[in-house]
Amino acid sequence: MNITIKPLTPELSADYFDFFENRAFTDDSPYRCYCQLYQMTKEQQKALIEKITDLSDAGRVSRQVAEEQIKSGALRGYLAFDDGVAIGWCNANDRANFPVESCTGDRFYAPAEKREKAVVCFEIAPEYRGKGIATALLQRVIDDARAEGYIAVEGYPVIREERFEWDNAGPIRLYEKVGFVKVAVQGQKVVMRKELK
């Protein structure tokens, strides 16, 4: 493998959508999205649903929202590439860029002055899972956050009794591997944190 990791920019939109439409979710995953929901409020989601006239329209409308979020910088993260083809994604963003409560019910927001990043989602092409891609993505988030003056990075894995193939928040052990520690439990989620000072 010849893996490279790049931050999502509008110039990489075509790679982003190529990944989500052709390699992500190709293993009967229960998820189908463009990772745009975490950046949306319940009101924005309601407005989105009102634009959908039938179910076949949902993907097109969701893609438009993601396109707008990438262009505005609301949707941020990293793409992993193998020989120039996108094979993985990590949604990692300044906590101040999230709504106070997203339409998913998650509360990743923190004021900008706290200088914290949140890692909220991973998606790795099925044939690349278990090969260290998520770890490499998470390490890149940490390295860039440190270089950009952030004081901490948080992740929010779900508490599970057994391994779950489509664990989009990443398993607890992924965060532990790169030095995160558990600082809180919020319902079914653990708040994992890595101080960067």
* Cα torsion through 76, 77, 81, 87, rounded to 10: -100
- Condensed to tens digits (0 to 9), the pLDDT of residues 140-149 reads 999 999 999 9
Among 18-32, 80-94, 132-146, the least confident range: 18-32
pLDDT at 28 over 80: no
Sheet with 116-124, strands from edge to edge, namely: 3-7, 77-82, 85-94, 116-124, 152-155, 189-195, 181-186
Average pLDDT, the chain: 92
Query: Can you give the CATH number for the domain in which 94 is found?
Result: 3.40.630.30
Q: Could you tell me if 6 and 19 are in contact, meaning their C-beta atoms sit under 8 angstroms apart?
A: no
Looking up tokens 């440190």 gives 146
Number of domains in the chain: 1
* d(C-alpha 194, C-alpha 41), whole Å: 27
The answer, yes or no, to whether residue 29 has pLDDT greater than 80, is no
Name the residue range of residue 37's domain. 3-195
pLDDT of res. 166: 66
Contact of 90 with 10, CB cutoff 8 Å: no
